[in-house]
């Protein structure tokens, strides 16, 4: 299939762990290697052929509005959550009328990656199988990650099918903050706060949550101290190809 031409960009979070930087700017506008986190994601969407991006805003939303007004591509639609922060799934449900009926990308505005030989979002689109999947997550391994010290997010089978970790389990597989989702999973969803995790679990129960290994380098910048490590990793990746 051709890749999705619409994306939902989750940019409404408070970014508290990034304080004091985020006392005055929203986390998606924090610069890493000279570029705001948000633009790393939007540039990746453009490289994958995405034409429309719905960006939800809440904290210091006026700054995000002003920044996004300066972009030529993709076409930006603002989903305004100034009155209430709706969490990851709630923000998507709030924007469903603009997303439309076809599979779409979701990206987190505060994590990003450096592609390998081909754009990871293109690889994700090529891996999408509508008959088998409701959600396809971009998956990084710990050896590709900078700024991550958790126990992993999922176990992944040889066919890419994902399941949650059991008690005491660890895994090399991390959700890398990008996905393709079919909007049918939100059929009948009520407006209000809700997390994508409940939809991940529902897809697992139906054997319809899959993952695809990314190429290149995945970076998470959760604290001010992590910025320098991310920039050093990007520089090494650029040198080593």
Q: For 6-240, which CATH class? A: alpha beta
List, in order, residues 6 or more apart from 187 with CB less than 8 Å away: none
Q: Could you tell me the pTM of the whole model?
A: 0.95
Which pLDDT band holds residue 12 (cuts at 50, 70, 90)?
Answer: very high
Task: Lowest mean pLDDT of 33-37, 99-103, 225-229, name the range.
Answer: 225-229
Residue percentage of the chain with pLDDT more than 70: 98
Residue 211 binned pLDDT confidence (cut-offs 50, 70, 90):
very high
pLDDT of residue 112: 87
* CB proximity list for 209: less than 8 A, separation 6 or greater: 133, 134, 135, 137, 161, 162, 200, 203
Instruction: Please check the confidence at residue 219 and state whether its pLDDT lies above 60.
Output: yes
What does the alpha-carbon distance between residue 104 and residue 77 come to, in Å, rounded to a whole number? 14
> Is the pLDDT reported for residue 241 higher than 80?
no
pLDDT of residue 111: 80
Cβ-count burial 127-150 (b if 16+ within 10 Å, e if not): bbeeeebbbbbbbbbbebbbbbee
Taking the C-alpha atoms of residue 237 and residue 241, their distance in angstroms, rounded to an integer, is 6
pLDDT at 110: 83
pLDDT at 200 over 60: yes
- Reported as a single tens digit per residue, the pLDDT across 103-139 is 999 999 988 899 999 999 999 999 999 999 999 999 9
Q: What are the beta bridge partners of residue 8?
A: 54, 106
């Amino acid at each position: 299939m051709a890749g999705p031409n619409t994306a939902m960009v989750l940019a409404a979070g408070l970014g508290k762990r990034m304080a004091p930087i985020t006392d005055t700017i929203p986390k998606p506008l924090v610069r890493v290697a000279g570029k705001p986190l948000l633009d790393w994601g939007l540039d990746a969407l453009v490289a994958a052929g995405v034409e429309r991006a719905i960006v939800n805003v809440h904290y210091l939303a006026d700054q995000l509005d002003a920044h996004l007004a300066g972009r030529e591509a993709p076409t930006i639609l603002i989903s305004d959550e100034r009155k209430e922060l709706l969490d990851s799934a709630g923000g998507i449900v709030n924007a469903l009328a603009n997303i439309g009926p076809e599979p779409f990308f979701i990206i987190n505005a505060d994590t990003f990656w450096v592609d390998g030989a081909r754009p990871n979002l293109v690889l994700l689109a090529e891996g999408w199988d509508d008959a088998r999947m409701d959600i396809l997550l971009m998956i990084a391994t710990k050896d590709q990650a900078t700024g991550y010290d958790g126990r992993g997010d999922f176990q992944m089978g040889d066919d890419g099918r994902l399941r949650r970790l059991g008690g005491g389990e660890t895994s090399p597989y991390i959700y890398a903050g990008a996905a393709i989702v079919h909007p049918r999973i939100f059929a009948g969803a009520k407006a209000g706060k809700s997390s994508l995790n409940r939809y991940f679990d529902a897809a697992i129960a139906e054997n319809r949550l899959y993952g695809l290994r990314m190429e290149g380098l995945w970076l998470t910048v959760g604290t001010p101290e992590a910025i320098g490590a991310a920039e050093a990793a990007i520089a090494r990746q650029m040198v080593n190809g």
